Amino acid sequence: MNMLIQGGRVIDPANQIDQVTDLYIVDGKVAALGSAPEGVEAGQTIDATGQVVCPGFIDLSAHAREPGPSQKGSIKTEAAAAVAGGVTTMITPPTTSPVVDTSAVAELIRDRCEEAGKMRILPMGALTKGLEGEQLAPMAALASSGCIAFSNSRLPIANSLILMRCLEYAATHDLLVVFQAQDESLARGGCMHDDSTCTRLGLNGIPESAETIEVARCLLLTEQTGVRAHFGQLSCERSVRMIHEARERGLPVTADVAIHNLLLTDECVTGFNNDFHVLPPLRSQLDRAGLIQGVLSGTIQAICSDHQPHERAAKEAPFADTEPGMIGLETLLPLSLLLVEQNILELPQLVEKLTSAPAEIMRLEGGKLSPGSAADITIFDPAMAWELTPESCHSRGKNTPFMNYPLKGRVTHTLFNGELVYQLEGGNA
């Protein structure tokens, strides 16, 4: 069905567009901005007056939990959460059960996503078989089955020679490697940032060096092998500086950060709220400032949700014994808008971090509203006040400290390939 999105503020950083105008969709693709294409009549109109119309968000790290423990989530439930948050493409880590180290698992994820029919889920493949850090995974075959990048997640590849062989293989086939940098021996047994708050609470800490040592090793091997490399979910100011210096030396490395690491610090753990138990941990005020500076300077190109749903039981234990991670798909927009409210970013800059920048990192066609591109579109009201509640939350996981928290900015419509896949109850259509 042809569609008209009428009177919204269209923000498309890839094409440097920021203006109030109409947007026409024909046969699932963006047809035109402004005037209707000749001979086109809209079968459906969405009134976007007072709202922002932009490319659908691309989330570089969100766990769907399928295949795996169904009590935590499924592709169906987490896809519903994604489109409610304006996310039309999400990249899932290989830490499913079984691990994404065979074509069968990669194809299963893509098939289940197609069945859900709401959005695009692109799996990352394992860098080593079983994520055990011992043998190379069949990366070329996994790429043929739809894996968009390769990672060992936070699981160790202790042997640097094996890691180098992985990177050499990936470089040969021009595959993107994603590092979620963590030295396993330094992080083992820790549950929060290693600093004065950690000491006062009597919890075991994870030092900054658990991340920075691994960032340094990965940068050196990246430079040696020439692989395309991306650093996901950074948490430390020194990591940002090292990546900045590497980029100044000409290394084509990129990076992202989870929105909660941009907003929160280790001091939030003071109340032992288990929803603040995340990996990488919430770091210091200095680290948070360094991450923000990284976003402003362009060293960090993208912002992601690092969505990790858990069942209630996984979070009902003493802080150190709970499973790390919080949900984030449905709060990605309102939490990101806090960066605009705090005058850290302009709204078009924020939209770029959620759309065209992650598309460029992953070499995706999306993240823009060029005529002829797929009509993956998010419409949101930047001023709408609301609260996420357990009843309204689409994710199977309810684990977030932002549950029942006053939020500002809400997605009202999400379109995928020109089809309306989410509409806020009561939204204009």
Peptide bond into 37 cis (omega under 30): no
Question: Which residue in this structure is represented by tokens 């889920």?
Answer: 121
**Mean pLDDT, range 148-172, rounded to an integer:** 97
Give yes or no: 12 in active site.
no
Indicate the helix (H) or strand (E) that contains 29.
Answer: strand 29-33
Peptide bond into 280 cis (omega under 30): yes
Indicate the helix (H) or strand (E) that contains 81.
Answer: helix 75-84
Asked whether the predicted pLDDT for residue 427 surpasses 80, the reply is no
Structure tokens, 328: 């984030």
Residue of 368, 379, 363, 375 lying closest to 427 (CA atoms): 379
7, 42 contact by CB (below 8 A): no
Q: CA 59 to CA 353: how far, in whole Å?
A: 10
Q: CA 356 to CA 359: how far, in whole Å?
A: 5
Q: Exactly one of 22, 266, 306, 381 is catalytic; which is it?
A: 306
Q: Is 234 helix (H, G, I), strand (E, B) or coil?
A: coil
**pLDDT given at position 144:** 97
Asked whether the predicted pLDDT for residue 428 surpasses 60, the reply is no
**pLDDT given at position 66:** 96
Per-residue pLDDT tens over the stretch 330-385: 999 999 999 999 999 999 999 999 999 999 999 999 999 999 999 999 999 999 99
**pLDDT given at position 429:** 52
**pLDDT given at position 420:** 97
Q: Share the mean pLDDT of the chain.
A: 96
Q: CA 330 to CA 381: how far, in whole Å?
A: 14
Put residue 363 in one of left, alpha, beta given phi > 0 → left and psi -120 to 50 → alpha: left
Residue of 348, 246, 334, 234 lying closest to 293 (CA atoms): 234
The pairing of strands 120-126 and 44-47 is unpaired
